[in-house]
Amino acid sequence: MADPITYRPAPGSIPTEPGVYKFRDAHGRVIYVGKAKNLRSRLTSYFADITTLHPRTRQMVTTAASVEWTVVNTEVEALQLEYNWIKEFDPRFNVRYRDDKTYPMLAVTLNEEYPRLFVYRGPRRKGVRYFGPYSHAWAIRETLDLLTRVFPARTCSAGVFKRHAQMGRPCLLGYIDKCSAPCVGRVSAAEHREIVDGFCDFLAGRTDRMVRVLEKQMSQASEDLDFERAARLRDDLGALRKAVEKQAVVLGSGTDADVVGMVSDELEVSVQVFHVRDGRVRGQRGWVVEKTDESDQLAAQVSQFLTQFYGAQVEQDETISVPDSHAGGDPVPREVLVPELPPDVDGMRDWLSDLRGSAVDLRVPQRGDKKTLMETVTRNAQESLVQHKLRRAGDLTTRSAALTEIQETLGLDSAPLRIECIDISHVQGTDVVASLVVFEDGLPRKSDYRHYAIKEAAGDGRSDDVASIAEVTRRRFLRHRTDNGGDLAPEAALDPATGRPRRFAYPPNLFVVDGGQPQVTAAAAVLDELGVTDVAVVGLAKRLEEVWLPDDDDPVIFPRTSEALFLLQRVRDEAHRFAINFHRSKRSKRMTASALDNVPGLGQTRRTALVSHFGSVARLREASVEQIAQVPGIGKTTARAVSDALGGSDAASQQEAGSHPVAGSHQEAGGEAAAGREPQTDPATSVGADAPEDSVTGTGADGDATMEQAGSNREGGNRAGAPGPKPAPVGEPLRVRGGEGER
């Protein structure tokens, strides 16, 4: 590993003009190529304190042994030279947007004497024109079936073509007029190529011209009384129109644009491109590539992609005799829509215009159909990234390699077959919750997921993430001690119902916390306190995906392409997702709390029935006990409890009569009060004269908390020996438990 200081050039020797630079390793191989508006400013940044560099950049500068640069006149020249060098040297530390080989394409072999149409998957080859990619191979075959009626070009392999040429008779497609049968000389090579050129023109977007030509030929045949040919042309015209209808119109007629969507996480970038020609989506392409230091920002990602993609498009266009299918006549369209403008937007726009030969509009869509299409492309990029990660995580060999790498890098006694991870979620200290997720053999075990409401380390708008981590760790491993039987017999660790070990009867091999050194230290201290010595604890910090160990001052840095890092990241992200979902659920319940929530004997179904019957809680408050009892499923006892809890019309009448019903108490207590006997208060649901001032709150007509009554104006029964309450003034709100104000 080289020290960057050994080959650092003197800052004064580096020019300040725009240019392109190359880093080489000890063997002279180019390992990284970059461009800069100011070479001195950019190159100096690589030789800063090595600990402050991005992990991938740090690896690059320590692998390199020399650096060199070339000065150019303009940023456009820098873009072109950077692309040429990346293509020539294929540097290992540069992102390469290679074709996604999973999508099928329609290929036309223009480099053959008799060009062939066929479905193709794989890397692109010179002399072959491609249309697509398409999402499904059947879509290509369906398009071919329609268009070979109009353009009867060859679709057979070289072996079939040669065999039928020797036999002297065409294949079935030749007999049904879906092939012009060049194998037996029905058409010459020039006539067959003309058919193929028409096919390519149609797929390239020049559909209106082809339709007009057929309409003119059909009319001429009809005037010439050649009705058989006119009927055949009519059928061909119908097939063309049917093929056009299969391509949805997404933008205005005449619009030629490439729409680029990007989604990224900490490690990778997913890119999707929709090729719109004449207002219709003609093709789609996608990539998932590893991020580099310079591609952390979306604008930098856009710049890298445009440089490589359109440089390759133009180069490929020069290898074939007709324009590339994606461009509909030009390798670069008139308009390129991106999620964010690149840093060197003027230079990029000029470079694209030079490639096209005319002005190119590079911009971010702000409204209308183009913005809607951009959102669709971005959703496709997101889905592509998710599917990529699922395919990667689902591979058994990959998972095994990841577990082994974690074991070796962290110095564990065995591979971490069971990994648990905790994460804290809250909003400004409210509704503080935690999640615990479990992965076994590298896959999520969702039946063992748990969530926790933080009790000790949070509350009253305060939250301490470190203390919350400690609290959840303690509760989880106290549960392990319980499920494991503690000091009881070993069979206590078995579930008597199933005979299997309880879910937390055995500890994880690796315990992961979401955070850095403080969180790891807190979790390790709890394990030491509980005497748990067979569990390894690490923290995964989001900033640079650093892995922290309890007693180390420096983090462990996994390679960016590491399967171990990918697995740890997936475990952490799953814990984060599960925590956020529980936090949102808890927050939603708090914000939709109702005065009916604490009425004894009133569950969710009957609460819903009451609100549906009366339309609102305010109308329910005005109803009498008899009216409430008419709701199906609501008896008179429950109706009276509801009326008392809401301070309804019956409760108000009792107030005027001098009675003092217990708010929120059971009907029996209310009945005793009405009969003049001393009620038996329920301390869980009522308030006596000696209750604290802030023990309950009231609710107004709209369910919001109202001002508490002070002093002796408390409803409810008296405790033994307590003085009797004074009557509540008419019109003052009753103090009830529940509603928005309860804590």
Percent above pLDDT 70 for the chain: 72
* Structure confidence by residue, pLDDT tens digits, 671-712: 433 333 444 434 333 333 333 333 333 333 333 333 333 333
Query: Cβ–Cβ contacts within 10 Å for residue 733, how many?
Result: 15
Give the mean model confidence (pLDDT) for residues 223-245.
74
Mean pLDDT for all residues in the chain: 75
Q: Give the pLDDT of residue 570.
A: 87
Q: Give the pLDDT of residue 262.
A: 92
Query: Cβ–Cβ contacts within 10 Å for residue 181, how many?
Result: 21
Query: Does the pLDDT of residue 338 top 90, yes or no?
Result: yes
Give the mean model confidence (pLDDT) for residues 188-207.
83
- Dmax (CA) of the chain: 118
Task: Please state which CATH number belongs to domain 257-370.
Answer: 3.30.420
Cα torsion 57, 61, 63, 67: sign: positive
Question: Model confidence at 247, in pLDDT bands (50, 70, 90)?
Answer: low
Give the mean model confidence (pLDDT) for residues 729-736.
40
The pair of three-digit structure tokens given for residue 525, joined into one six-digit string: 């201290």
> Given the DSSP bridges, would you call strands 458-459 and 462-463 parallel, antiparallel or unpaired?
antiparallel
Task: Please state which CATH number belongs to domain 593-743.
Answer: 1.10.150.20
Q: What gap in Å lies between CA 225 and CA 107, rounded to an integer?
A: 39
Give the mean model confidence (pLDDT) for residues 102-123.
84
CB-CB contact of 515 with 539 (8 Å): yes
State the DSSP code for 334: S
* Structure confidence by residue, pLDDT tens digits, 651-667: 545 544 444 444 333 34
| Angle between helical axes of 563-591 and 368-393 (0-180°, round to 10) | 120
The pair of three-digit structure tokens given for residue 64, joined into one six-digit string: 């390199």
Question: Model confidence at 482, in pLDDT bands (50, 70, 90)?
Answer: low
Q: Give the pLDDT of residue 708.
A: 36
Nearest to 292 by CA among 55, 558, 554: 55
Q: Give the pLDDT of residue 114.
A: 92
Task: Please state which CATH number belongs to domain 4-89.
Answer: 3.40.1440.10
Q: What gap in Å lies between CA 182 and CA 174, rounded to an integer?
A: 9
Query: Does the pLDDT of residue 153 top 70, yes or no?
Result: yes
Whole-prediction pTM value? 0.46
CB-CB contact of 274 with 258 (8 Å): yes
Give the mean model confidence (pLDDT) for residues 398-410.
86
Fold held by 396-589: Nucleotidyltransferase; domain 5 (3.30.420)
The pair of three-digit structure tokens given for residue 260, joined into one six-digit string: 């680029």
Least confident of 129-133, 198-202, 457-461: 457-461
Beta bridge partners of 662: none
Query: Does the pLDDT of residue 24 top 60, yes or no?
Result: yes
Beta bridge partners of 459: 462
Burial 331-353 (b: 16+ CB within 10 A, else e): bbbbbbbbbbbbebbebbbbbbb
User: Which residue is listed with tokens 């339309």?
Assistant: 615
Rg (the chain; Cα; Å): 37
Q: Give the pLDDT of residue 242.
A: 65
Question: Model confidence at 422, in pLDDT bands (50, 70, 90)?
Answer: very high
Query: Does the pLDDT of residue 591 top 70, yes or no?
Result: no
Q: Give the pLDDT of residue 115.
A: 93
* Structure confidence by residue, pLDDT tens digits, 426-480: 776 677 888 999 998 888 888 888 888 887 766 666 677 888 889 989 888 887 6
Of residues 165 and 643, the one with the higher pLDDT is 165
Q: Give the pLDDT of residue 633.
A: 83
What is the helix, strand, coil percentage profile of the chain, to 5?
A: 45, 15, 40
Q: Give the pLDDT of residue 670.
A: 39
Residues 6+ apart with CB under 8 A from 653: none
Alpha-carbon dihedral of residues 342, 272, 128, 282, nearest 10 degrees?
A: -110
The pair of three-digit structure tokens given for residue 211, joined into one six-digit string: 């339709």
213: helix, coil or strand?
A: helix
Query: Does the pLDDT of residue 17 top 90, yes or no?
Result: no
Of residues 151 and 330, the one with the higher pLDDT is 151
Percent above pLDDT 90 for the chain: 10
Q: Which helix (H) or strand (E) holds 406?
A: helix 396-410
Q: Which helix (H) or strand (E) holds 140?
A: helix 137-147
